C-alpha cells in the first residue's frame, strides 16, 4: 500500500511543512528533495497518502499538510531522534551542575528545556511517594511549638509548624527525634504510615498525646503533598505559534496543575528512558498541541516526568533529542546529590 517512495514523500511533506509553515505542493517537493521523479508522480503519491488519511489539504488548490496520523507515522517510522551537539551537551551539564538545591535543579531544568526547544517546558517535582526518608528533624521553637522537617533522599524538604498539646522540654523533643529517626530512616515514604502505626504504644504513656499530634501532622504532610507540584517555563514561545484551540486555552491548561499532570502522562513503571509522544488529537485535552515527555529519576525508578508542549507542527526529532538529553542529565544530578 505504502511503498518506500510514498513514505519518502510523507517524510518530505512533514519536514517541509514544519520548516516553512505553509502547505507544501508537488512541484516544490519534487525540487527540494531530490526525489528523482516528476511533480505529477508526486501528485499521484500524495493522492494515495491523502486517501489513507496521512495528509490533507486545507482548501482545494492548496498544498498538503500532514494530519495527526501523518505525524504519528513520521515519528514512529520515518524519523530518528536527533542528538544534541557537543556544545549543547556541555552547556546543559555546566548549567545544571550549578544548582544548589532541589528547587534550583527543577527551576534550571525547566528553563533550560524551554530555551533548548524554543517551546513550553514542563517539569514535575520528584514524587514524594517514591522517595525515602533521609532524616526527620524536630526543632523546638518556643512555648509549645515545634517545627517538623522532613528530608527525603531526593533533596526535597518539607516543613510544618506543630502546635503541641502541652509544654515539652527540649530533652524530650530530642528523644522523640531520635525515636522517629530510628524507625523512619531510609524508610520509603509509602511505608511511613505502617512504620509509625504502633509508635505511641511503644512509648511511655505521658508522651503519647504529644507523639500523636506530631504523627498526625507528619502523615498529613505526606498526603497533602501527594498532589504534585509542576512548573513550566517558556510561555513566551507560544506567542509566535498558532494553536487551533486558541492561545488562551493553552495558557489556562499550563496553570492548572491537574491538567498539566494529565498531559505529561501517567507516571509509568517502565524504565524511565522511553519517550512519550502525544500528537494533537491523541491528547486528553488541548487537542491542538503535541507533547513530548519522558520520565526522569535517579537509577532505575522513575521519580517524576518532564517534557515540552508545542504546536502539532513541531520539529519532533530535535525536540525528542532535547527532552531525552535533559532528562538524562537531571537524573544524573539527582543521583549524585
Kindly list the residues in this chain that would bind DNA in the complex (CB under 7 A). 5, 23-28, 36-41, 43-44, 46-47, 50, 57, 59-64
- 10 or 241, CB closer to a second copy? 241
* Minimum distance of a second copy from residue 193's CB (angstroms): 19
Give how far the C-alpha of residue 224 lies from the chain's centroid of Cα atoms, to the nearest Å: 20
**Residue-wise over 268-289: b if at least 16 C-beta within 10 A, else e?**
eeeebeebbbbbbeebeebbbb
- Please answer whether residues 106 and 122 qualify as being in contact, where contact means their C-beta atoms are separated by less than 8 angstroms: no
Which residues from 173-202 bind a second copy, rule CB under 8 A? none
- 141 or 212, CB closer to a second copy? 141
How far is 204 from 221, CA to CA, in rounded Å?
A: 25
Which residues face 306 on adjacent strands? Answer: 123, 294
Cα-based distances in Å from 100 to 37, 104, 168: 58, 6, 35
Which residues from 98-137 bind a second copy, rule CB under 8 A? 100-101, 111, 134-135, 137
C-alpha cell, 318: 530535535
Residue reference for cell 485535552: 285
- 233 or 325, CB closer to a second copy? 233
Question: Does 223 help bind a second copy (rule: CB under 8 A)?
Answer: no
Question: Does 262 help bind a second copy (rule: CB under 8 A)?
Answer: no
Instruction: Give the number of other CB atoms < 10 A from CB of residue 152.
Output: 20
Choosing from 63, 234, 297, 307, the residue that interacts with a second copy (CB under 8 A) is 234
How far is 216 from 211, CA to CA, in rounded Å?
A: 8
- 40 or 174, CB closer to a second copy? 174
Question: Does 1 help bind a second copy (rule: CB under 8 A)?
Answer: no
Which residues from 4-43 bind a second copy, rule CB under 8 A? none
* Minimum distance of a second copy from residue 256's CB (angstroms): 10
Interacting residues toward a second copy by CB under 8 A: 100-101, 111, 134-135, 137, 139, 141, 147, 149, 151, 155, 157, 159-161, 224, 233-236, 238-240, 246-248, 251-252, 254-255, 337
Amino acid at each position: 500500500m505504502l511503498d518506500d517512495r510514498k513514505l519518502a514523500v510523507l517524510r518530505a511533506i512533514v519536514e517541509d511543512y514544519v520548516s516553512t509553515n505553509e502547505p507544501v505542493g508537488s512541484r516544490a517537493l519534487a525540487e527540494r528533495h531530490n526525489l528523482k521523479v516528476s511533480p505529477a508522480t508526486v501528485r499521484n503519491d500524495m493522492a494515495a497518502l491523502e486517501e489513507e488519511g496521512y495528509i490533507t489539504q486545507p482548501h482545494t488548490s492548496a498544498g498538503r499538510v500532514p494530519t495527526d496520523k501523518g505525524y504519528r507515522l513520521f515519528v514512529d517510522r520515518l524519523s530518528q531522534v536527533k542528538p544534541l551537539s557537543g556544545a549543547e551537551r556541555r552547556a546543559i551539564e555546566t548549567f545544571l551542575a550549578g544548582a544548589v538545591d532541589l528547587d534550583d535543579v527543577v527551576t534550571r531544568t525547566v528553563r533550560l528545556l524551554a530555551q533548548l526547544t524554543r517551546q513550553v517546558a514542563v517539569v514535575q517535582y520528584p514524587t514524594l511517594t517514591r522517595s525515602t526518608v533521609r532524616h526527620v528533624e524536630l526543632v523546638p521553637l518556643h512555648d509549645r511549638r515545634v517545627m517538623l522537617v522532613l528530608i527525603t533522599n531526593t533533596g526535597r524538604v518539607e516543613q510544618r509548624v506543630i502546635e503541641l498539646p502541652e509544654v515539652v522540654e527540649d530533652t524530650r523533643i530530642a528523644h522523640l527525634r531520635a525515636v522517629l529517626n530510628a524507625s523512619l530512616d531510609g524508610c520509603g515514604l509509602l511505608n511511613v504510615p505502617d512504620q509509625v502505626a504502633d509508635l505511641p504504644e511503644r512509648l511511655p504513656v505521658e508522651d503519647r498525646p504529644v507523639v500523636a499530634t506530631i504523627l498526625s501532622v507528619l502523615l498529613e504532610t505526606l498526603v497533602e503533598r501527594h498532589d504534585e507540584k509542576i512548573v513550566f517555563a517558556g510561555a513566551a514561545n507560544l506567542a509566535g505559534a498558532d494553536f487551533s484551540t486558541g492561545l488562551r486555552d493553552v495558557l489556562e491548561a499550563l496553570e492548572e496543575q491537574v491538567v498539566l499532570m494529565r498531559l505529561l502522562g501517567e507516571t509509568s513503571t517502565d524504565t524511565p528512558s522511553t519517550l512519550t509522544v502525544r500528537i494533537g488529537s491523541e491528547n486528553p485535552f488541548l487537542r491542538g498541541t503535541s507533547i513530548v515527555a519522558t520520565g526522569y529519576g535517579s537509577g532505575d525508578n522513575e521519580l517524576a516526568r518532564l517534557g515540552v508542549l508545542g504546536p502539532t507542527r513541531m520539529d519532533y526529532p530535535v525536540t525528542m533529542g532535547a527532552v531525552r538529553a535533559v532528562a538524562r542529565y537531571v537524573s544524573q544530578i539527582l543521583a549524585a546529590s
